[in-house]
């Protein structure tokens, strides 16, 4: 029953995250007006607003004007319950699950907004940072000092990269939104997993950059949305990061 409840909540919550992803970077209210087609402005009926299922039944199009609905809606509605189920399997249904669910939701929102708008809104990163710091007073695995250290290490490394790049090239190599996002990630994960997140996101980002150069004919000046890579890196760190680090360190232990 817990699993079913998590899945159902994840589906509904994913639908709300879609609202945040679409409206927040456009400066629109998250509450009003009710869900509607951005092309024909017709209100979306409740039976056309069933997460995942409605998208499949409507074949990804508005019922009235047949405008294509972005695939993002389907992906977020599918990804959110899957991410929460993995958390539930890993953590059970406790306080850390709910805190990690808030953190994961912020990662999903930031990943998609950064991909489409090259923007990491403070309205998401800063409240999540404050919640992460506040939560550190109630968790046994990470103290407030460790949370502050994690925030400092994560953001400090990116600030160092930002400063060195600016001195060498006389222009910004990344946005400061990435720094704020790493403050949030470091405060929740601690310094080890924050550093793991940076390594993983950098490796995947470098690979994606090469693919864009090869197949999209982009040049070396093409700016990748780094937050889109930080988000899955942080989620992997949250679920499996410590296991991966421990397995890596065991490779260098003498028998």
Tell whether 252 and 137 lie within a shared domain: yes
Are both 132 and 248 inside the same structural domain? yes
Packing angle, helices 176-189 and 191-215, rounded to 10? 140
Instruction: Indicate whether 162 and 239 sit together in one domain.
Output: yes
Q: Are residues 85 and 123 in the same domain?
A: no
Numbers of helices and strands, H then E, in the chain = 10, 0
Instruction: Note the pLDDT of residue 167.
Output: 77
User: Is the separation of the CB atoms in 117 and 25 below 8 Å?
Assistant: yes
Local structure of 11: helix, strand or coil = helix
Please check whether residue 197 lies inside any domain of the structure: yes
Is residue 102 in some structural domain? no
Whether residues 151 and 194 share a domain: the answer is yes
Please report whether residue 112 resides in a domain.
no
Between 64 and 76, the higher pLDDT residue: 76
Query: Would the pLDDT of 255 be above 70?
Result: no
- Domain region containing 16: 1-93
Domain-embedded: residue 100:
no
Number of domains the chain contains: 2
Same domain as 75, residue 164: no
Tell whether 162 and 217 lie within a shared domain. Answer: yes
Residue 114 within any structural domain of the chain: no
CB 133 within 8 A of CB 187: yes
For residue 221, the model assigns a pLDDT of 58
Q: Which two tokens stand for residue 222?
A: 């093409």
Nearest to 196 by CA among 158, 161, 242, 231: 242
Task: Characterize 232-255 residue by residue with b for buried, 16 or more Cβ atoms within 10 angstroms of its Cβ, and e for exposed.
Answer: bbbbbbbbebbeeeeeeeeeeeee
Which of 93, 127, 160 represents a domain boundary (last residue)? 93
For 154-200, write each residue's pLDDT tens digit. Answer: 999 888 887 887 777 666 666 788 999 999 999 999 999 999 999 99
Domain assignment present for residue 141? The answer is yes
pLDDT given at position 254: 66
Tell me, yes or no, whether 87 and 123 share the same domain: no
Note the pLDDT of residue 216. 65
Q: pLDDT (tens digit, 9 = 90+) per residue, 108-153?
A: 999 999 999 999 999 999 999 999 999 999 998 999 999 999 999 9
Same domain, residue pair 65 and 187: no
pLDDT value of residue 220:
54
For residue 23, tell me if it sits in a domain: yes
DSSP string, 125-146: HHHHHHHHHHHTTT-SS--HHH
Question: Are residues 247 and 134 part of one domain?
Answer: yes
Residue 106 lies in a domain: no
């Amino acid at each position: 029953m817990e699993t079913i409840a998590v899945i159902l909540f994840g589906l509904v919550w994913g639908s709300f995250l879609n609202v945040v992803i679409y409206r927040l970077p456009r400066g629109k209210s998250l509450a009003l007006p009710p869900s509607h087609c951005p092309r024909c402005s017709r209100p979306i009926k409740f039976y056309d607003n069933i997460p995942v299922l409605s998208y499949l039944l409507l074949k990804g199009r508005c019922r009235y004007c047949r405008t294509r609905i972005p695939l993002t809606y389907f992906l977020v509605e599918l990804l959110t319950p899957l991410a929460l189920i993995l958390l539930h399997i890993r953590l059970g249904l406790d306080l850390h699950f709910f805190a990690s669910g808030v953190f994961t939701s912020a990662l999903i929102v930031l990943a998609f907004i950064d991909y489409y708008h090259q923007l990491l809104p403070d309205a998401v990163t800063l409240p999540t940072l404050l919640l992460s710091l506040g939560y550190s007073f109630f968790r046994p695995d990470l103290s407030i000092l460790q949370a502050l250290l994690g925030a400092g290490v994560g953001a400090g490394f990116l600030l160092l990269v930002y400063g060195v790049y600016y001195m060498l090239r006389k222009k910004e190599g990344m946005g400061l939104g990435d720094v704020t996002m790493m403050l949030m990630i470091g405060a929740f994960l601690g310094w080890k997993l924050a550093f793991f997140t940076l390594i993983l996101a950098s490796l995947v980002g470098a690979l994606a950059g090469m693919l864009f150069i090869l197949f999209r004919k982009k040049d070396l000046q093409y700016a990748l949305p780094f937050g889109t890579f930080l988000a899955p890196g942080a989620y992997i760190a949250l679920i499996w990061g410590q296991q991966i680090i421990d397995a890596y360190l065991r490779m260098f232990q003498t028998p």
